[in-house]
Structure 1
């Protein structure tokens, strides 16, 4: 009997042939040929929105996906897929279904630590995760570049551009290897926020990843922020870059480096809107498309609509923890369920796992829920959210106030940004009590300032001449039409660091100043010596 790997070996040349035939003949109606390398999880959910729009505009899409993918389907009406089979990871790096639950529990434990110890433990954990995730990315890009048949077929398909999420650099490296213009769908890169590698990022007022700081910092906060900036730089140089060193030596010209490749993208579609994000320096080839996945609410299924209408004048609270974490720890779930049971409102809660014993009759548990459509429903009064970017922007789009319950990664920073805008209350899941949760939720529900602040953000977010999704597709097509957008890229990245910071200019200016000062001192000393000798002779 043939094994699964044997079947993949037989089917792989057939898939490559289909890619070639599609690449050569599938563009007869004038659409672009787009090679896509996405990231999994919530990153794929929002990238798929752009792919749907590109497909509707006549573009032909090929998606490279890993056989280990959880969310990226092999078969889709939107694209042709090519599945890559990377080498299996070591047993200690295997990511199972409970991986993110373990990460959440570790994150909650860190929240109970004193700040200094928490900072040190966070850096240790971040280093371990970067090593693991980039190790997986290395195995994937190695499987692609070492497969000469696949690479040849990709070259022969003559793609117009690479569209990729560069959180991990598999798509970046492949675009460079195939000499394709690159468009990023991006917010995070390497060990921090993507702006840090493309635009000036002064840590004096630009808060670093996971700092939980705003853009207004006192001296101690600026010190912490600067240390986090140094930690990000160290992790990039000392952890990430060495992982790909051997791959670059084997497949790229001498002197090739990861950072130069990352910066060479023609266009950065940044999943950011400054109604939410703190203002900061940027670059001409950065296009802001925060909230592009948001859309007007569609009708709900009949049974869910009936539940919403049964809430009467009180309305409904929606709760979701996103795609990666299925459920809170049992003790926290019981706290939340008991608080919900004391509300006059109805509750729709995306929940997987054992049903909480304290669950009230007013609460509906769902394995999956149409989050955008629920947030856009007129009966929805508040959103209890973990702080993922997609959910935050959907709440902003529909003007629904948020009770933040951050668990992992950037979620803490996201809810802090909303809190700074007066649109949310934030709670610590690690020390949550029923009383605290109920008080905060009732505050969000009853205090009109939260809804007013969120509706103001919604008006600002919508007040634009071009919707974020239309802006994203326009610029992707711009790169296709013009064969790239190199005129938007700065040459600053080609400068050595001492030139970038003008240290060589300082030296040029300093040398004549020092020389003049030395000459002045020399002349003065000579004159003083001459006078001293004359005085001695006179005496």
Structure 2
């Protein structure tokens, strides 16, 4: 068979496999998490809609970003956590977090864990109450049962979708990065903490002894928070609505498929499982033309180029004392600056800086004039920077953001500054180093090349595996049985206890026999 004919057959097969007609349109119930998590979930939904799938999104009545009306899905309104927590909560959380990070390392760790425990108790307490209201709404549940869904697609950062999928007895697919206290890998795959850094530890995968101690402490802290703060929040709900043996961890582990928002050009290598599919960066795309005024501003930068800054979707602005220092540093650059910013205009703002309350981040990162991305370290923005090959100056603020930018720093593609204590000179020095040292650009270009070099795009891979689960009514053959094991069985502690008991009994029996023999021998000697 000729080369041309082979290429034609291969192309035809791929078109069949990934065309909308390649899989009969299914019915998918989507239970997302609001905020930045919704950004990539919506992109996945648009792709699924283009392939003739019917999508129903369960959303909060007062959602921050999830629109009630969309051409790509229908929505069902319920009362959720966001109804009791608004975006100002995160601004206040940031202020407290920055104050904690100004403390010494020991106090920093202790107060950080106290803050995290308090936030987990608040968040999951509200989540459990809202889930109970959802399951007790008989009209809502009857509607979902009658609609005949093929699967539940959910983000398990909050377990609404997990509980709903199990209550409806539907296959479950995750669009996931976070579960409970950190990276979802920690409940689906073996995670040796000798070289797998725990979320919040801000460590790489090459740890010395003291760093391994630090990693262990973070692991133990997360374990205790999960066992004694998070899981008890759902105990009453599980007893009321689920079989007696049900527990939240087993439910979370039992997902048929994990669409993991990770890529090993970014993440450190670690063990994984066959039902984990890596789809990081599926929200990335080639840049589109900018609006005329924005393009004119970009071109006005000349040979110096543009610095882009954005803090994501949850934080409206940094504290003013930090903002003033950053603005002063920008003002001393020869580059132009585009800054996604809301709130009071800083007094130190230079004429080279353009403030916008919204900006087309992906299109700006893909523009040839963009030189540096000043970012808070959210994964959506970092993967867009990787995709377009733009080096990063990281100002991590909350959650996993510090861990994220450390991963790029280890690979030589980023600098990281501490937002709690930074000065104008530090910001200026870091920006000049990234701008003047070509190694940052080369490192990020290398990561970009590796990220793009794959047989299928992340979005195609995600949709293929979603349809795979629908075609086969689940994917239990890919799922490890760890989800059904209690934690002491997973770590073989029951086996170890039995072996220790047998060993102890054997030693005791040997000692008893020896003692009896000695006594018998002594008695015989006395008689003689």
Q: Compute the TM-score of the two structures, normalised by the length of structure 2.
A: 0.92
Quick check: 1:66–1:140 contact (8 Å CA) kept in 2?
Answer: no
Q: Does 1:33 align with 2:27?
A: yes
Q: Secondary structure at the match of 2:374?
A: strand
Which sections of structure 2, spanning at least 5 residues, go unmatched? 1-20
| d(CA) in 2 for partners of 1:506, 1:356 | 62
CA 1:331–1:506 in 2, change beyond 3 Å: closer, same or farther?
closer
Superposed displacement of residue 195, structure 1:
1.3
Superposed displacement of residue 149, structure 1:
1.2
Q: Secondary structure at the match of 1:393?
A: helix
Q: Secondary structure at the match of 1:409?
A: coil
Post-superposition CA distance 1:358-404 (Å, at most 9, x none): 21111111111110111111111110111111001011111110001
Quick check: 1:32–1:60 contact (8 Å CA) kept in 2?
Answer: yes
Quick check: 2:27–2:150 contact (8 Å CA) kept in 1?
Answer: yes
| d(CA) in 1 for partners of 2:261, 2:492 | 32
Alignment of 1:174-193 (within 5 A): 174-193=164-183
Q: Does 1:335 align with 2:325?
A: yes
Superposed displacement of residue 214, structure 1:
1.3
| d(CA) in 2 for partners of 1:95, 1:527 | 74
| Correspondence for 2:396 among 388, 406, 413 | 406
Q: Secondary structure at the match of 2:349?
A: coil
Identify the residue that residue 52 of structure 2 maps to in structure 1: 58
Q: Secondary structure at the match of 1:217?
A: coil
Superposed displacement of residue 521, structure 1:
4.6
| Correspondence for 1:363 among 322, 329, 353 | 353
Quick check: 2:202–2:406 contact (8 Å CA) kept in 1?
Answer: yes
Q: Does 1:220 align with 2:223?
A: no
Identify the residue that residue 122 of structure 2 maps to in structure 1: 132
CA 1:138–1:450 in 2, change beyond 3 Å: closer, same or farther?
same
Higher mean Cα deviation, 98-107 or 72-81? 98-107
Q: Secondary structure at the match of 1:335?
A: helix
Superposed displacement of residue 508, structure 1:
5.6
Higher mean Cα deviation, 131-140 or 39-48? 131-140
Quick check: 1:86–1:143 contact (8 Å CA) kept in 2?
Answer: no
Identify the residue that residue 48 of structure 1 maps to in structure 2: 42
CA 1:516–1:87 in 2, change beyond 3 Å: closer, same or farther?
closer
Post-superposition CA distance 1:501-523 (Å, at most 9, x none): 33444456556655665565556
| Correspondence for 1:101 among 91, 96, 117 | 91
Superposed displacement of residue 337, structure 1:
1.2
Identify the residue that residue 320 of structure 1 maps to in structure 2: 310
Superposed displacement of residue 317, structure 1:
0.7
CA 1:113–1:83 in 2, change beyond 3 Å: closer, same or farther?
same
Quick check: 2:387–2:451 contact (8 Å CA) kept in 1?
Answer: yes
Quick check: 1:276–1:417 contact (8 Å CA) kept in 2?
Answer: yes
Higher mean Cα deviation, 39-48 or 190-199? 190-199
Superposed displacement of residue 108, structure 1:
1.0
| d(CA) in 1 for partners of 2:513, 2:29 | 71
Identify the residue that residue 442 of structure 1 maps to in structure 2: 432
| d(CA) in 2 for partners of 1:170, 1:527 | 66
Higher mean Cα deviation, 101-110 or 216-225? 216-225
Identify the residue that residue 63 of structure 2 maps to in structure 1: 69
Post-superposition CA distance 1:139-173 (Å, at most 9, x none): 33223211111111110100000001111111110
Q: Secondary structure at the match of 2:65?
A: coil
Identify the residue that residue 366 of structure 2 maps to in structure 1: 376
Superposed displacement of residue 445, structure 1:
0.7
Superposed displacement of residue 100, structure 1:
1.5
Superposed displacement of residue 115, structure 1:
1.3
Superposed displacement of residue 97, structure 1:
3.9
Post-superposition CA distance 1:407-449 (Å, at most 9, x none): 1111111111111111111111111111111000000111111
Superposed displacement of residue 61, structure 1:
0.4
Q: Does 1:196 align with 2:190?
A: no
Q: Does 1:280 align with 2:274?
A: no
Identify the residue that residue 421 of structure 2 maps to in structure 1: 431
Identify the residue that residue 11 of structure 2 maps to in structure 1: none
| d(CA) in 1 for partners of 2:448, 2:438 | 15
Higher mean Cα deviation, 158-167 or 186-195? 186-195
Identify the residue that residue 258 of structure 1 maps to in structure 2: 248
CA 1:48–1:347 in 2, change beyond 3 Å: closer, same or farther?
same
Alignment of 1:461-480 (within 5 A): 461-480=451-470
| d(CA) in 2 for partners of 1:465, 1:167 | 29
Quick check: 1:87–1:143 contact (8 Å CA) kept in 2?
Answer: no
| d(CA) in 1 for partners of 2:169, 2:460 | 27
| d(CA) in 2 for partners of 1:281, 1:256 | 27
| d(CA) in 2 for partners of 1:513, 1:133 | 46
Superposed displacement of residue 112, structure 1:
0.3
| d(CA) in 1 for partners of 2:102, 2:509 | 62
CA 1:504–1:83 in 2, change beyond 3 Å: closer, same or farther?
closer
| d(CA) in 2 for partners of 1:257, 1:68 | 30
| d(CA) in 1 for partners of 2:27, 2:502 | 57
| d(CA) in 2 for partners of 1:498, 1:194 | 20
CA 1:256–1:314 in 2, change beyond 3 Å: closer, same or farther?
same
| d(CA) in 1 for partners of 2:430, 2:444 | 16
Superposed displacement of residue 303, structure 1:
1.0
Q: Does 1:141 align with 2:131?
A: yes
Quick check: 1:39–1:165 contact (8 Å CA) kept in 2?
Answer: yes
| d(CA) in 2 for partners of 1:338, 1:510 | 65
Post-superposition CA distance 1:217-240 (Å, at most 9, x none): 222222222121111111111111
Superposed displacement of residue 212, structure 1:
1.0
Q: Secondary structure at the match of 1:109?
A: helix
Q: Does 1:309 align with 2:303?
A: no
